[in-house]
Amino acid sequence: MKDQLEEIRRRALAELGDDAEAEVVENVRVRVLGRSGELTEIMRGMRDVAPAERPIIGKLVNDIKREVEARIEALQEHLRARQLERSLASARLDVTLPGVRIPRGHVHPVTRIMEEMLDILCGMGFEVEYTQDVEDDFHNFAALNFPPNHPARDMQDTFFLPGGMLLRTHTSNGQIRVLERRRPPLAVVCPGGCYRRDDLSVRAAPAFNQIEGFMIDRRGRITMSHLKGVLTEFAKEFFGETRVRFRGSFFPFTEPSAELDIYCLLCSGAGCAVCKYSGWTEVLGCGMIHPNVLRAVKLDPNEYQGFAFGMGVERTALMKLGIDDLRLFYENDVRFLGQFPSVAGGSR
Ligand code: PHE
């Protein structure tokens, strides 16, 4: 019996070498210590052992049991440590490696330019009011003194929607919308999208942005001189350019009317596609608000007077950013757009 036990111990310890794998350790545990393992079998056979021998055998069984258990415990501990080491090695993280840069988006250059324009105008005391893109004939045309047969109402220019609505062709509807709600004195700018049935070209697009502005007060307080002063100052601040000219023009909703041209910054006056080879580029339309417009919003033209202007954002952005083709703004090529990061300290 003793020999048998010594053999069990010898075999077990031989198998539980320092480099024993987890599987081997488990097999030995079940074979030697398990419920129907070798040691249990020996204990069961105790009946057949001479009574005098029993304590000696019993002690031997317990010693072997303890010894094998301790060995298994130590090996399992060792195996756990090795496993941990292995998983740490495979998931090693070098915190000194340079990080992966996550590309950061920025506002579209047209948005940025629009915000710059609004910043300057707000600095002059104008408030910003947003008005609707989907309009009716009254606010886009009739109230702005367009006669019923005016060519701008033509199907060629305007996108008409079912139900008698249309997409505004300019932001001048903002004058009417705001004046229906508020009374002068007012200095307001209305930025937003405008739509015309134009083909996309170097200088024009079927959807574009404008900023409308108007200033109204009691008659005699806001004159054409204020109009010229505000817009010349705007051109100086926005373009850093003082070579501007006011050219007589016509709009149904202003009288007198003018267009403001700025010396073409793209070609420095030499002539290019954007300035139509004239050396000057039109940046906005303006004028003194027509008495009929004031009447349409129930203001008495004998009591009130003011000026209005409307400028295209995209074409002005071309000038400012030194780009010679408006279509680039709509192609959404990030290699192009990425060249015009948002201004530091900008509003977004
Ligand atoms: N609404 C005009 C346009 O779209 C611009 C304009 C606005 C002209 C205000 C005069 C006064 O061209």
String of DSSP letters for 163-187: TSEEE-SSTTHHHHHHHHH--SSEE
Q: Are residues 194 and 225 in the same domain?
A: yes
Q: Are residues 214 and 313 in the same domain?
A: yes
The pLDDT assigned to 155 comes to 62
- Residues paired with 135 in a beta bridge: 166
Residue 192 Cβ inside 6 Å of ligand 1? The answer reads no
The pLDDT assigned to 346 comes to 40
Ligand 1 pocket, mutate which of 139, 171, 172, 214 (most atoms under 8 A from CB): 172
The pLDDT assigned to 186 comes to 97
Q: Which domain holds residue 155?
A: 109-337
pTM over cut 0.75: no
The pLDDT assigned to 343 comes to 55
Q: Tens digit of pLDDT for each residue in 129-141? A: 999 999 999 999 9
Q: Are residues 28 and 172 in the same domain?
A: no
Domain membership flag for residue 329: yes
Geometric angle at alpha carbon 28, from 24 and 34, rounded to 5°: 135
Geometric angle at alpha carbon 164, from 176 and 168, rounded to 5°: 45
Q: At what angle do helices 2-15 and 54-90 cross, to 10 degrees?
A: 10
Domain membership flag for residue 328: yes
Structure tokens of 298? 């129930």
Q: Are residues 17 and 119 in the same domain?
A: no
Residue 286 Cβ inside 6 Å of ligand 1? The answer reads yes
Domain membership flag for residue 223: yes
Total domains, the chain: 2
Residue 287 Cβ inside 6 Å of ligand 1? The answer reads yes
Section 303-318 average pLDDT: 94
340 near 133, Cβ under 8 Å? no
Section 90-107 average pLDDT: 86
Q: Are residues 224 and 310 in the same domain?
A: yes
Q: If you measure from the C-alpha of residue 172 to the centroid of ligand 1, how many angstroms do you get, rounded to a whole number?
A: 6
Domain membership flag for residue 98: no
Closest approach atom of ligand 1 to CA 171: 1
Domain membership flag for residue 59: yes
Section 241-251 average pLDDT: 90
**Following DSSP, what letter does each residue of 216-266 receive, concatenated?**
EEETTTS-HHHHHHHHHHHHHHHHS---EEEEEEEETTEEEEEEEEEE-TT
Domain membership flag for residue 274: yes
Residue 208 Cβ inside 6 Å of ligand 1? The answer reads no
Cα 63 to Cα 201: distance, rounded to the nearest angstrom: 96
Closest approach atom of ligand 1 to CA 172: 1
Q: Tens digit of pLDDT for each residue in 37-50? A: 888 888 888 888 88
Q: If you measure from the C-alpha of residue 183 to the centroid of ligand 1, how many angstroms do you get, rounded to a whole number?
A: 21
Return the CATH number at 181. Answer: 3.30.930.10
